[in-house]
Amino acid sequence: MTSTGPAAPFALARYREGTSVQLGLVAGDRIRPLTPDQLGAVELNDFLAAPDWDRLAAVAASPGDDWMPLADVTLTAPVQPRQVLQAGANYRQHVIELVAAGLTNNTDRTPDEARAFAATMMDDRAANGEPYFFIGLPACVVGDDVPLVLPAYSDVHDWELELAIVIGAEAFQVSRDDAMAHVAGYTIVNDITTRDLVFRKDMKEIGTDWYRSKNAPGFLPTGPFLVPAPFVDGGAVTVTLELNGQVMQNGSTDDLLFDIAALVSGASQTMPLLPGDILLTGSPAGNGQHWKRFLRDGDVMTGSITGLGAQVVRCVAPGGAA
């Protein structure tokens, strides 16, 4: 679905070749298959453990009759993570909007009171708090070649476009100063959320239910490119989501409460982050909860992040045509 590559000199992608998936190297509007000899590793995650971008730069610059127009291939998710970690409540303005919209266990505040409460809470978190993480299922990671089937059990499926960190060298209990050495690259993820399942209704004291609200099949459309970290300033990119051509989200990662180094360091304190894992950084303001408009059969979401290209996700009802 993507005819042009990212702005970087080259990037990694995976594309469909019959019934299999092939790792490829993208340069401009062309793509070529990457052999293990060219990659210098048997598989993508092995390469990401110690990425040699100079090696791939040489492959990108070399001629060959195996280059293909990018528009002629079907791209799929560019990563194969063993773990998916997600940062919650990490954009100041986004959290203020969600609380003001009533997405909270406390319904006694007026919208203005809720907004003021959320603003104070976010400022305190930024100064004194720590990142908030939950986990997703790697099986939910798909490319935008897969239609998003909207589960029939709810009418409030929402979008959350996010910058995703792709882990390189294994990171375990790393400091913030050392964290960026464990970032191999970045990609785009749309973290689909079923809003009415976020909070348990049968036992509110339990709190959030991220398993049911975020882990239906295809709920993590990812890619289409893995762009090397040296080509991206993850702290200053624009995250934009259009729904049927209308801009719904348009924020910058400079609004992150906890930056990329803080997220990698924080997530690594509990469990080692493995090569190829993805760590979502949070979503800016402008979700469906804010607009009171949720995903419907036939909707088309176009998500783009500066330097990372764009993904196009088509929504269908259960049993609907792709």
What are the E-state strand segments in the chain?
A: 11-17, 20-27, 30-33, 68-69, 75-76, 84-88, 132-136, 141-142, 148-149, 157-158, 161-167, 183-190, 193-194, 220-221, 227-228, 238-243, 246-252, 278-280, 300-305, 309-316
Q: Is 5 contained in some domain? A: no
Q: Is 278 contained in some domain? A: yes
Tally Cβ neighbours within 10 Å of residue 108: 7
72 and 93 share a domain? Answer: no
101 and 213 share a domain? Answer: yes
Q: What local confidence, expressed as pLDDT, does residue 128 receive? A: 84
Q: Which of 57, 76, 95 is the last residue of a domain?
A: 76
Q: What local confidence, expressed as pLDDT, does residue 57 receive? A: 97
205 in helix, strand or coil?
A: helix
- State how many domains the chain has: 2
Q: What local confidence, expressed as pLDDT, does residue 320 receive? A: 67
Q: Which of 25, 59, 76 is the last residue of a domain?
A: 76
Q: What local confidence, expressed as pLDDT, does residue 118 receive? A: 82
Beta partners for residue 15, in sequence order: 22, 75
46 and 108 share a domain? Answer: no
52 in helix, strand or coil?
A: coil
Q: Is 63 contained in some domain? A: yes
Q: What local confidence, expressed as pLDDT, does residue 119 receive? A: 84
Residue closest to 296 by CA, chosen among 190, 148, 171: 148
Q: Which of 48, 76, 104 is the last residue of a domain?
A: 76
70 and 95 share a domain? Answer: no
Give the domain range for residue 33.
11-76
pLDDT along the chain (322 residues), means of 10: 79 96 97 97 98 97 94 98 95 77 64 83 84 97 98 98 98 98 98 95 86 97 98 97 98 95 98 98 93 97 98 92 54
CB within 8 Å of 110: residues ≥ 6 apart: none
Q: What local confidence, expressed as pLDDT, does residue 116 receive? A: 86
56 and 119 share a domain? Answer: no
113 and 257 share a domain? Answer: yes
308 and 292 share a domain? Answer: yes
CATH number at 241 reads: 3.90.850.10
Q: Is 6 contained in some domain? A: no
Residue ranges in 79-225 assigned as alpha helix (H): 92-100, 111-128, 176-179, 210-214
106 and 139 share a domain? Answer: yes
49 and 131 share a domain? Answer: no
171 and 301 share a domain? Answer: yes
113 and 221 share a domain? Answer: yes
> How far, in whole angstroms, is CA 303 from its chain's centroid?
10
Q: What are the C-alpha distances in Å from 67 to residues 43, 58, 72, 91, 307? A: 20, 14, 11, 40, 22
Beta partners for residue 312, in sequence order: 302
CA separation for the pair 61, 42 (Å, rounded): 22
Q: What local confidence, expressed as pLDDT, does residue 103 receive? A: 54
Tally Cβ neighbours within 10 Å of residue 31: 26
Q: What local confidence, expressed as pLDDT, does residue 300 receive? A: 98
90 and 48 share a domain? Answer: no
- pTM for the full predicted model: 0.93
